[in-house]
Amino acid sequence: MQHSPAPAEDLVVLGKIVSVFGIRGEVKVYSYTDPLENLLDYRHWTLKRDGEVRQVELVSGRLHGKVLTVRIKGLDDREEALNHVGFLILVPRSQLPALQDDEIYWYQLEGLRVINQDGQLLGRVDHLLETGANDVLVVKPCAGSLDDRERLLPYTGQCVQQVDLAAGEMRVDWDADF
């Protein structure tokens, strides 16, 4: 069966190839899924790096510490595998599992306007960072924002008061001077 790639706007980044593993073409992958092994549920990946796009098929993979070691179909030696380092791993949104009512995918938060308890627009969520203690929202200034500061806000129940995907905004308990 021929695998046809999804349009770029329908793809979600779920991981990144970070290095090679061994001499037989396996690669180490940092997974953005939770749990990490969920990335292995997707057999067809779109790889993207600096405008280059490739379609690959996952043969096998396993958890190895905090990364996955993965075998990709047709990738059989270390030198060839080195050419894959740095590629982001994307899959179609339509393949993501359905969420419970109180769950949100990270990609859904990106682009939301961030408004504090005083009604001030702090900016838009650019991306999220995973840290040891809690996830962090990277909020960058946008048209109409209070100032031109980038802010790092904890993605916690104490800080994030409400997420309204339909309105495209997030309400936070965050002082503009922070």
Residues, the chain:
178
Is the pTM higher than 0.75?
no
Tracing tokens 């997030």 back to the chain, one arrives at 170
At 121, which amino acid appears?
L
Strands 169-172 and 160-164: what pairing?
antiparallel
Number of domains in the chain: 2
Shared domain for 85 and 138, answered yes or no, is: no
Q: How far apart are CA 147 and CA 170, in angstroms?
A: 18
Lowest mean pLDDT among 20-24, 80-84, 106-110: 106-110
pLDDT bin (cut points 50, 70, 90) of residue 19 is very high
Mean pLDDT to the nearest integer, 62-69: 94
Mean pLDDT to the nearest integer, 80-87: 95
Question: Which residue range is the domain that position 130 belongs to?
Answer: 106-172
3 lies in a domain? Answer: no
Residue-wise pLDDT tens digits, 148-166: 999 999 999 999 999 999 9
Using DSSP's 3-state secondary structure scheme, residue 133 falls into: coil
1 lies in a domain? Answer: no
* Contact present, 171 and 119 (Cβ < 8 Å): no
Shared domain for 56 and 125, answered yes or no, is: no
